[in-house]
Amino acid sequence: MSQATPVSRTDRLETLDVLRGFALLGILAMNIRSMTAPLSAYVNPYALFDHTGASRAAYLFTATVFDLKMMGLFSMLFGVGVLLYAAKPTETGKPPRGLWFRRMSFLLLIGLVHGYVIWGGDILVPYALCGMILLWWVRRFPPWGLVAGAIFFLAVGALLTVGHGLSWDAMPEAERAQEAAIMMPTPEQARSQLSQMLGSYPEFVAANAPTVLMIETLYFLAFFFWRCSGMMLLGMALFKWGFLDGRRSAGTYALTAVVGVAAGLFLAGYGAAELERVRYGMPERTIPDLWNYGGAVLASVGYAAAFLWVIKRGMLAGLRRRLAAVGQMAFSNYLCHSIITAVIFLGWGFGFAGRLDYAGQLAVVAAIWIFQLVVSPMWLARYRFGPAEWLWRSLTYGTRQPMIRQT
């Protein structure tokens, strides 16, 4: 195997680490819904809590500001990752294809462990599969080719969503009932799902396994592959155009931020209002879901532009440093989200699942944000990598990576 080494700290692009840190923290604002309550409470605010007052406001806020936008931004940056990885120097002068596929294989393995034994909403497996199936093979495409591919993948995902809604009444009754138990559960079903979270650890793993299998097979083929791949290709194109690494003018970023965020959040907000109108029911929610599906693409680019404008202007240096540290340790911090919430909310931990409505969940999110913004820079002052990054790199390169930073 040709030799290559991990990216050194001096080689890292601050812009990408800052964006990655922001996206990673924002992802928690959505994931917390199914970390503190059943999956049905993620997609339907009527499933377990009273959809009123502060809880309703918190649900609508996260749906408008974070839903799909943070995953979209993180996917864009994951797409950039293959371009940076392919540019690594090797003894042969050839791109390190073998290392990339080793890297994705171990990401897949870690994702499977994470999904089945810690938290069922794992995203690592879809990312690893997209990385192996698509990203390496399209890395040399010109920017416009990547944009065309992004439009294609995102359009297929939207069409699959519409097709699913149109075929709802024609679905076999048992299959429709199984999906309805998640999308619009009865109170008895929601309480049963909650009791599974509050069982013993073996009971939790057994109850969690079917959901994980569904997410990593059917849902991957119907949604994740198309959505994540589309955003990854878009990120690759924007990087090749010099947008995501900060090479464009401050004015370009300001204009993109204003247009992207305003248009994206307007569409997402309209979709959220429409979802309330149909009470999140199937198949009526099919078209309302598409407003956020499209708006999130604009908002993801707009959020990136807003942070890049801040960086270009040299503003918020302290916050940027902390976000960059969170982003540099994104893998560790992502797994940390799952471990912390599992200990607090699952039955084998403190068993607080189902006790916090959406407003209370955001308080937990804020506490974890503060913790990681404080601890991540402290960790990186002593160590070269986060613990998960160190393990991943050591497995990829087949040798124990030096962990302690040399002073």
Q: Which of 231, 306, 301, 277 is nearest to 60 (CA)?
A: 277
Q: 363-395, pLDDT tens digit by residue? A: 999 999 999 999 999 999 999 999 999 999 999
Chain position carrying tokens 């601050």:
14
Helix (H, G, I), strand (E, B) or coil at 371: helix
Q: 213-267, pLDDT tens digit by residue? A: 999 999 999 999 999 999 999 999 999 999 999 999 999 999 999 999 999 999 9
* Contact predicate 320/314, CB 8 Å: no
* 77 pLDDT higher than 80: yes
Sequence spans of domains, the chain:
15-397
* Contact predicate 131/82, CB 8 Å: yes
* 1 pLDDT higher than 60: no
- Which pLDDT score, from 0 to 100, does residue 322 have? 97
Q: Which two tokens stand for residue 261?
A: 């965020």
- Which pLDDT score, from 0 to 100, does residue 3 have? 47
- Which pLDDT score, from 0 to 100, does residue 6 have? 45
Section 103-131 average pLDDT: 97
DSSP per-residue codes, 164-228:
HHHTGGGS-HHHHHHHHHHHS--HHHHHHHHHHHTS-HHHHHHHHHHHHHHIIIIIIIIIIHHHH
* 4 pLDDT higher than 90: no
Collect all residues with Cβ–Cβ distance below 8 Å to 121 and sequence separation of at least 6: 31, 34, 35, 39, 42, 115, 215
Burial class (CB in 10 A: 0-12, 13-18, 19+), 284: middle
Q: What is the mean pLDDT of the chain?
A: 94
DSSP bridge partners of 186: none
- Which pLDDT score, from 0 to 100, does residue 5 have? 45
Section 77-86 average pLDDT: 96
* 7 pLDDT higher than 60: no
Q: 12-39, pLDDT tens digit by residue? A: 578 999 999 999 999 999 999 999 999 9
Section 90-96 average pLDDT: 68
* 152 pLDDT higher than 90: yes
- Which pLDDT score, from 0 to 100, does residue 90 have? 67
Distance CA 54, CA 308 (A): 32
- Which pLDDT score, from 0 to 100, does residue 12 have? 52
* 2 pLDDT higher than 50: no
- Which pLDDT score, from 0 to 100, does residue 94 have? 66
* Contact predicate 45/201, CB 8 Å: no
- Which pLDDT score, from 0 to 100, does residue 270 have? 98
Q: Which of 103, 116, 108 is nearest to 389 (CA)?
A: 103
- Which pLDDT score, from 0 to 100, does residue 385 have? 95
Q: Which of 70, 56, 55, 68 is nearest to 19 (CA)?
A: 70
pLDDT top residue among 333 and 2: 333
pLDDT top residue among 287 and 95: 287
* 11 pLDDT higher than 60: no
Q: Which two tokens stand for residue 339?
A: 């471990």
How much of the chain exceeds pLDDT 90, in percent? 93
Q: 58-72, pLDDT tens digit by residue? A: 999 999 999 999 999
For residue 93, name the pLDDT band (cuts at 50, 70, 90). Answer: low
For residue 407, name the pLDDT band (cuts at 50, 70, 90). Answer: low
- Which pLDDT score, from 0 to 100, does residue 8 have? 42
Distance CA 94, CA 103 (A): 17
Q: Which of 30, 33, 12, 5 is nearest to 325 (CA)?
A: 12
pLDDT top residue among 13 and 141: 141
